[in-house]
């Protein structure tokens, strides 16, 4: 057993499952957005804004944001533990990554739910 405290779920198993589940959500969201843009020629602001005004789209988008945040945390945490060997620099990099993910998540929610 190797102890870790800066990974998302404190357990490799939960990180692994979160990584896969979030990947599916992100794949579906990407397919949906790309498909929507392809099949909506002459898209204007009102339609685009209308899409995001609907509750199901807000739920779907928020789910995608949270999935992206979790996916990025698990993935980038793995990269830092593979390649950054000095503890001080690694913990600093992990802190910056986690802070950035938090900022982007809150910012994304504000864009989605804000006025």
> What residues line the site for other proteins (CB under 8 A)?
1-4, 7, 11-17, 77-78, 81-83
Residue 62 or 78: the one with the smaller Cβ distance to other proteins is 78
CB of 112 to other proteins, least distance (A): 30
DSSP one-letter string for 62-101: HHHHHHHHHHHHHHHHHHHHHH--SHHHHHHHHHHHHHHH
Q: Is 83 annotated as a binding residue?
A: yes
Q: How many CB atoms lie within 10 A of CB 70?
A: 21
Least distance from C-beta 85 to other proteins, angstroms?
9
Are 101 and 73 within 8 A, CB to CB? yes
- Cβ proximity to other proteins: between 1 and 115 the closer is 1
45 annotated as a binding-site residue: no
CA max distance for the chain: 56
Q: CA of 3: how far to CAs of 6, 10, 12, 89, 92, in Å? A: 10, 8, 10, 19, 19
Q: Which of 78/98 has CB closer to other proteins?
A: 78
Measured from the CB atom, the residue of 12 and 35 that comes closer to other proteins is 12
Output the known binding site. Answer: 71, 83
Output the known binding site for a ubiquinone. Answer: 83
């Amino acid at each position: 057993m190797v102890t870790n405290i800066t990974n998302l779920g404190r357990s490799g198993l939960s990180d692994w499952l979160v990584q896969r589940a979030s990947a599916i959500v992100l794949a579906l969201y990407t397919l949906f957005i790309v498909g929507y843009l392809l099949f909506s020629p002459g898209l204007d602001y009102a339609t685009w804004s209308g899409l995001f005004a609907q509750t199901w789209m807000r739920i779907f988008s928020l789910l995608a944001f949270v999935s992206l945040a979790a996916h990025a945390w698990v993935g980038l945490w793995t990269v830092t533990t593979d390649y950054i060997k000095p503890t001080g620099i690694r913990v600093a990099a992990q802190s910056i990554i986690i802070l950035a993910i938090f900022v982007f998540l809150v910012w994304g929610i504000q864009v989605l739910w804000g006025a």
